Chains A and B, each alone.
Chain A
Amino acid sequence: MKILNIIEAAYRGTIEEQDDTILWLTTIMKGAGGDFTVLVRGNAINHCVTSQDCSGLSFGGWEQMQPPRLANDTANLIDKGVAIHYVAEDAAERGLHPGDMVPGIKPISRHAVAQLCNAHDQVWHW
């Protein structure tokens, strides 16, 4: 079963979870033997920007030691063999260029999203 995970929401509880919860879920399920492709669209494309830095948060005496490193997580998922695509028009509309983003993620046109859906048995839009 080939599953397409579509990630759209950006920075949804990422500080508290210390992860993007859908990248995390995909990582765990990939490790359990799942066959996944990821499509990042909308604002979630910003998770692939290499210059992100949310380190240094503290609350009273509590300091966050493991801030989310979303670009690293994206790269790690690619290293594990998961193809990660992003919608090129969504990136361009947000002022993002390929050089701003994690190497190895693959742009597709908005029009090609349908083709990507057709190529998978299940399409899960988170």
Chain B
Amino acid sequence: MDYQVIVIGSGPGGYVAAIRCAQLGFKTAIIEKYNSLGGTCLNVGCIPSKALLDSSEHFHNATHTFKTHGIDISVPKVNFKQMIARKSDVVSQNTDGIQYLMKKNKIDVFNGLASFLDPHTVQIVGKETQSITGEKIIIATGSKPATLPFIKVDKKRVITSTEALELKEVPTHLVIIGGGVIGLELGSVYARLGAKVSVVEFLDGIIPNMDKTMSKELQKSLKGIGFDFYLSHKVTGVAVKGKEVTVTAENKTSEILSLKGDYCLVSIGRKAHTEGLGLDKIGVVLDDRGRVAVDQHLKTNLDHIWAIGDVIKGAMLAHKAEEEGVFVAEQMVGQQPHIHYNLIPGVVYTWPEVASVGATEAELIQEKRPIKIGKFPYKALGRARASMDIEGLVKIIADASTDEILGIHIIGARAADMIAAGVTAMEFRASAEDVARMSHAHPTYMEAVKEACLSATENRPIHM
């Protein structure tokens, strides 16, 4: 065998798995079909979208809040080309970073499309075609944007998230199909830059997997920056005519909605990517949704092949994939790590940000679990007022009798970073009162968490 471990795919699942394997002493190879490492996350996902979100947020502040802050500037203009260029720089810095990490950990990098020739042999078709053999193989091929059968993604006017990060101009009217994380984040970018954004969502709320309160609050905020929402609408057609895209949809009473825009972003979700891998050739079984089927150890039906990240079941999140990468690598040397899937946080990088961990109120109500809820608005927070980020709230859900925190939901400035404290608390099964009795630096946004915990414990917030 050429390698002890071969990792297919270099996204956050794959490269982390490779590094952990190398740390554990395996001779490791990683295969990436694109020229740069990092997968969706680094190239066309998390990182570039955050780059544009930050840039556009700066622009938004320059146009909306600077004056109040006492900063007078001449009317700022968007240099979109520069924005995209900076984003690309960020991406290449990050992907170069991965390249460096591979080298540092003595991981051999192969560029090309991987496919199984037999259970231990992977063919790589790149500039040249070669084959390598491995004792153990990790499939980390990730996912790609999903679409609907009747929508033709031409990648020019009807685009996916990938193209939305590479536009040449700020759309005038961006019609987004799907009110999930990806659509709302990219919609935010363009709304801040001046586009009119319309979101058509099939369900009756945006970010449907998150707590209802978060969904409502976020919808309110986004409306404030120019979003229009068409909820409970089923898209029936997307037609392109020159520079104009017409999205037609109907609501529950079959009323027809027709939206004309210059771009249509299809962000209805992502699907596992297994094409061309030759899994059928070696008999690796897929589940009913085309994902690689794995057991609780993330092992496929073949004893030496594992799969992690978006290509398997579970939330399509970079940090979920990372945990799984480490999980699999460590199991290979007989260690027994654990992943608490219900404690993997979910984040939406809009502004205000939304972040949550644990169960939603609706889930707990469905379970008939007796709960109590504590909320605290950013508005009542000194820190938030100082920086004019007063939109948002913290919602803590705790067990009615034990006071154990069961869910933490935050919408507001810096929620994404704050949720880590929530994960810590929940991994240690803290009660709301535990958190409420811990000193939180003042003035910080985290005080809202403390106050919400006080509120959940005995409904006795101090600052409200």
A, B from the same assembly: no
